[in-house]
Amino acid sequence: MDASKNRKQRFLDAHPLCFFCGRQSATIDHVPSRECFRDRVWPEGYEFPACYACNNGAGPMEQVVALYLLMGNHDGTRPTSQFEKLIAGVRNNAPQFLPKVDMSANAKKRALSQYNFPLPTDQPIAKAPIVELPDKNREAFRLFERRLICALYYLHMDEVMPLTHMIRTHRLQAIQKSADQLVHEVIPMLPNGIVTKRQNTNIGDQFFYNWHGDHETKMFAFLAQFSLSFVFIGAACRVEDIAGGEDYLPHSTDVIIRDAADGIR
Ligand SMILES: [Zn+2]
């Protein structure tokens, strides 16, 4: 048995259950996926035990979200070859998730008023660099967000999220006007702040979050930010603790969807 096999086996011995569905773990999964980080350098400590189906099944969807995370980043860094590879990957695996580039001038005008996007005054609106996200993208983002909340729950609550839990998630682009307000209002309610990092490598502010968890009721909430790209917010709790939330979906549906996808392959 070589050294990496030893490390994997030790990890799975210490973490025998899949962080997402609770079945027997067989792989080490990265959440958020490595694709979400510049040059695939991911923060330390964000490895999770997963069964084959939960790890492999998420791949194409994670690629889609990674593409949008990198594309939506307005921190001024230039796209790298990783970005080109991601586009090629999504074009191959899930072309229905690529952005629509043929938006009308009117649709772009509406989008400009919704976002703080600075368009030079001498640039015609029709040429504004805005693309539309296909509706299908919600599925990719929803899976990404539900995996993220399950991973953070596993990490901070020291157990697999019960399948009977209800989960609700939401996202905003960082440049949306309402994003700043949301962040400032929600952060004080989530007292544990984490800035992820890697020893000897500066990964900057690519992924940081706040969370709160209650061990007695098993209620958990987080708000995560990816550079200047997206803000994700989510809550998970027992059915009986939901206060007026039709947008909560049972975590058990994630596993039903996963099993259905597994049956197709
Ligand atoms: Zn699983």
- The pLDDT of 173-177, averaged and rounded, is 83
- The pLDDT of 6-32, averaged and rounded, is 96
Taking the C-alpha atoms of residue 80 and residue 85, their distance in angstroms, rounded to an integer, is: 9
**Angle 130-133-139 from CA coordinates, rounded to 5°:** 160
Amino acid 220: pLDDT: 98
Distance 153 CA to ligand 1 centre (A): 15
pTM assigned to the model: 0.89
DSSP 21: T
Distance 54 CA to ligand 1 centre (A): 4
Distance 222 CA to ligand 1 centre (A): 22
Amino acid 265: pLDDT: 45
Distance 198 CA to ligand 1 centre (A): 26
- The pLDDT of 255-263, averaged and rounded, is 73
Q: Residue 75 — very low, low, confident or very high, per pLDDT cuts 50/70/90?
A: low
Distance 258 CA to ligand 1 centre (A): 8
Q: Which residue has the higher pLDDT, 236 or 134?
A: 236
- The pLDDT of 26-41, averaged and rounded, is 92
Q: Mind listing the pLDDT tens digit for each residue in 98-139? A: 888 888 888 888 888 777 667 777 888 888 878 888 888 888
Residues with CB under 5 Å of ion ligand 1 are: 18, 20-21, 51, 54
Provide the mean pLDDT of the chain: 88
- The pLDDT of 39-65, averaged and rounded, is 91
Residue 5 has pLDDT above 80, yes or no: no
- The pLDDT of 230-240, averaged and rounded, is 95
Could you tell me the CA-to-CA distances from 242 to 54, 224, 249, 259 in Å, in that order?
27, 21, 11, 26
Distance 207 CA to ligand 1 centre (A): 24
Amino acid 263: pLDDT: 62
Q: Within the chain, where are the H helices?
A: 3-14, 52-71, 81-93, 105-114, 137-157, 177-186, 251-264
- The pLDDT of 22-45, averaged and rounded, is 93
Amino acid 98: pLDDT: 86
